[in-house]
Amino acid sequence: MQADFVIVGAGSAGCAMAYRLTEAGHSVIVIEYGGSDAGPFIQMPAALSYPMNMRRYDWGFSSEPEPHLNNRRLVCPRGKVIGGSSSINGMVYVRGHARDFDTWAEMGATGWSFADVLPYFKRMETWHDGGHGGDPAWRGTDGPLHVTRGPRRNPLYKAFVEAGRQAGYPVTDDYNGAQQEGFGPMEQTVWQGRRWSAANAYLKPAIATGRCHVVRGLAENVIIRDGQAEGVRIATARGQVDVMAGREVILAASSINSPKLLMLSGIGPAEHLAEHGIPVLADLPGVGGNLQDHLEVYFQMASKQPITLYRYWNPLAKGILGAQWLLTGKGLAASNNFESCGFIRSDAGVDYPDIQFHFLPFAVRYDGRAASEGHGFQAHVGPMRSPSRGDVRLSSADPAAAPRIRFNYMSTEEDWVDFRKALRLTREIFSQDVFQPFVKSEISPGTAVTTDDALDDFIREHAESAYHPCGTCRMGDASDGQAVVDAECRVIGVNGLRVADSSIFPQITNGNLNAPSIMVGEKASDHILGKTLPQDSSEPWMHPDWQTSQR
């Protein structure tokens, strides 16, 4: 088996690269351990909680006991299916704030400032405003990825945005445009009622060219001879197979599996590799380090009115909605139901938002457990830029063994200060006048939870991952001892090998990570092809009084 390029992982970045490299006339083999993304559990947007809880589609990772969260093991779903995590995620589309990418450039990722990446965000998307307004000049019109907005028919969606306005925050009609800060409609990767994953947007068109082939198998290690990556050894039902690359090997296997595969190949912290008897080909201490994530809680309110999605939380109603979706592609099942959101700053002196809200007109957890009170609604809320850092390490030299994941959540005092602020600011939003006809009581955390100690106890027991792991193969200057790849995604010290997925993020971005992960695949493909799009110098909106005002 041979192609010009061998990509490990048919996820968000891998699919984008397969599309762009085949578009340029190259042959591509994509190695994916998971199977087909066909079927309603993945393609129906409202069914999002099912695939991320199914072993068929999810690697089933979980963290080590987290010492600052009562030693709980937190689940870390990663897509094990065509489309990767874009086939099991919540379909929320957030580019990130302009300052995120300027910070990347300041951290040594030269050429990844906002002016550099904005053209790629535009190239990748076809944006549909749904008549809600927005920033057309900032958006793409003919990319493979369809980005839409839900209909926001439930009055609670508008109440949430109005509550933000009543609390003194800005309203933004396009947080992916010039102004992220504020409250407004949320965007989703849904098109014509279907999950518009990276597989639907990029991989299937690439396969249709005849130049891209998907091979099922578990990547065991990169084949490296004399410092040159030549292919990937995979385990298949028929035994070991070597998939050879005429030009390059590209790892796009996730922020968990990409560092794992580098370490299995002898690339990583020398001492750790020696512990597992793996010969060291490149001593890169940063491999597997710098692990970051977003932590969040479900801030839940009981509803006075029976207007929430709880009325559909029974087998008959689910069956009717499912049938409507199958027959027409429409109805409540055609949306992820995250249709309003907010991005705010936690304090004066914070220059851009560091708290995100996902609003849902239902009180339910990602694992599908509804609040016992029945009718309710919630905001998922948490800080965006935790200073805590964790790592991914091998548990064994056996490629089939899950790696050891230690997020080290809430390990600094700043984490606790920021999270308490986020909870208190959320409570204030739900106390606004517009919510008076809807709020019956506070389910969680509960009105008795007010002191620092009580809020800390609630966070320790109830905070969950937002499933945004990144940073474990950090991009930076080759002279930086912790950098794993350079600014063109090339693995430092090995020829013919790149990493391009969320693992290369120097710092986590504001919001959900699917959009920036696809952008990485888009931009990396241009680096591979030896070209780049011209910069876009559009100036993002910053709050004029950010230095002295929280809102």
pLDDT tens-place string over residues 141-193: 999 999 999 999 999 999 999 999 999 999 999 999 999 999 999 999 999 99
The response to whether 384 counts as a known ligand-binding position is no
Q: What is the pLDDT of residue 125?
A: 98
Report how many helices (DSSP H) and strands (DSSP E) the chain contains, helices first. 13, 25
pLDDT band at 371 (very low <50, low <70, confident <90, very high): confident
DSSP-H helix ranges across 368-490: 413-430, 452-462
Tell me: cis bond preceding 445? Omega within 30 of 0 counts.
Answer: yes
Paired strand residues for 190: 195
- Same domain as 233, residue 175: no
pLDDT band at 373 (very low <50, low <70, confident <90, very high): confident
The response to whether 89 counts as a known ligand-binding position is yes
Q: 């592609």: which residue's tokens? A: 329
Please return the burial class of 488, using the count of CB atoms within 10 Å of its CB with bins 0-12, 13-18 and 19+.
middle
pLDDT above 80: residue 131: no
- Same domain as 265, residue 229: yes
The response to whether 91 counts as a known ligand-binding position is yes
Q: What is the pLDDT of residue 40?
A: 92
The answer to whether residue 139 is domain-embedded is no
Angle in degrees, CA 181, 185, 191, rounded to 5: 130
- What is the 8-class DSSP label of residue 436? T
pLDDT band at 214 (very low <50, low <70, confident <90, very high): very high
The answer to whether residue 404 is domain-embedded is no
Q: What's 36-100 look like in SS3?
A: CCCCHHHHCHHHCCCHHHCCCCECCEECCCECCCCCECCEECCECECCHHHHCCCCECCCCCHHH
Q: What is the pLDDT of residue 522?
A: 98
- Same domain as 116, residue 39: yes
Q: What is the pLDDT of residue 133?
A: 79
Q: 């809880």: which residue's tokens? A: 53
Q: What is the pLDDT of residue 368?
A: 72
- Same domain as 509, residue 364: no
The response to whether 200 counts as a known ligand-binding position is no
- Same domain as 221, residue 363: no
pLDDT band at 132 (very low <50, low <70, confident <90, very high): confident
Q: What is the pLDDT of residue 129?
A: 85
Of the three residues 428, 445, 462, the one that is the final residue of a domain is: 462
CB 199 within 8 A of CB 83: yes
Mean of pLDDT over the chain: 97
Per DSSP bridges, beta strands 187-188 and 145-149 are antiparallel
pLDDT above 80: residue 538: yes
CB 71 within 8 A of CB 407: no
CATH of the domain at 52: 3.50.50.60
- Same domain as 24, residue 171: no
The answer to whether residue 143 is domain-embedded is no
- Same domain as 104, residue 202: yes
The answer to whether residue 146 is domain-embedded is no
Q: SS3 helix, strand, coil % of the chain, rounded to 5?
A: 30, 25, 45
Q: What is the pLDDT of residue 361?
A: 97
pLDDT above 80: residue 366: no
- Same domain as 276, residue 264: yes
Strands (E), 384-511: 391-393, 404-406, 439-444, 464-465, 497-499
- Same domain as 119, residue 65: yes
The answer to whether residue 4 is domain-embedded is yes
462 is an active site residue: no
pLDDT digit string, tens, across residues 15-46? 999 999 999 999 999 999 999 999 999 999 99
- Same domain as 177, residue 192: no
How much is the pTM?
0.98
Q: What is the pLDDT of residue 291?
A: 98
Residue 503 DSSP SS3: helix
Concatenating the DSSP letter of every residue in 205-239 gives HHHHTTSEEEEE-EEEEEEEETTEEEEEEEEETTE
The answer to whether residue 417 is domain-embedded is yes
pLDDT above 80: residue 369: no
pLDDT digit string, tens, across residues 302-324? 999 999 999 999 999 999 999 99
Q: Which of 26, 97, 468, 543 is catalytic?
A: 468
Q: What is the pLDDT of residue 107?
A: 98
- The domain total for the chain is 2
The answer to whether residue 144 is domain-embedded is no
Q: What is the pLDDT of residue 332?
A: 96
Contacts of 307 by beta carbon, 8 Å cutoff, 6+ apart: 154, 155, 156, 361, 375, 438
The answer to whether residue 405 is domain-embedded is no
- Same domain as 99, residue 22: yes
Q: Which residue range forms the structural domain that includes residue 284? A: 1-133+188-288+389-396+469-531
- Same domain as 445, residue 315: yes
pLDDT digit string, tens, across residues 277-286? 999 999 999 9
Paired strand residues for 404: 393
Per DSSP bridges, beta strands 190-191 and 194-195 are antiparallel
CATH of the domain at 299: 3.30.410.40
Give the integer Cα–Cα distance in Å for 347 and 343: 13
pLDDT above 90: residue 497: yes
pLDDT band at 359 (very low <50, low <70, confident <90, very high): very high
Residue 492 DSSP SS3: coil
Q: What is the pLDDT of residue 459?
A: 98
pLDDT above 80: residue 370: no
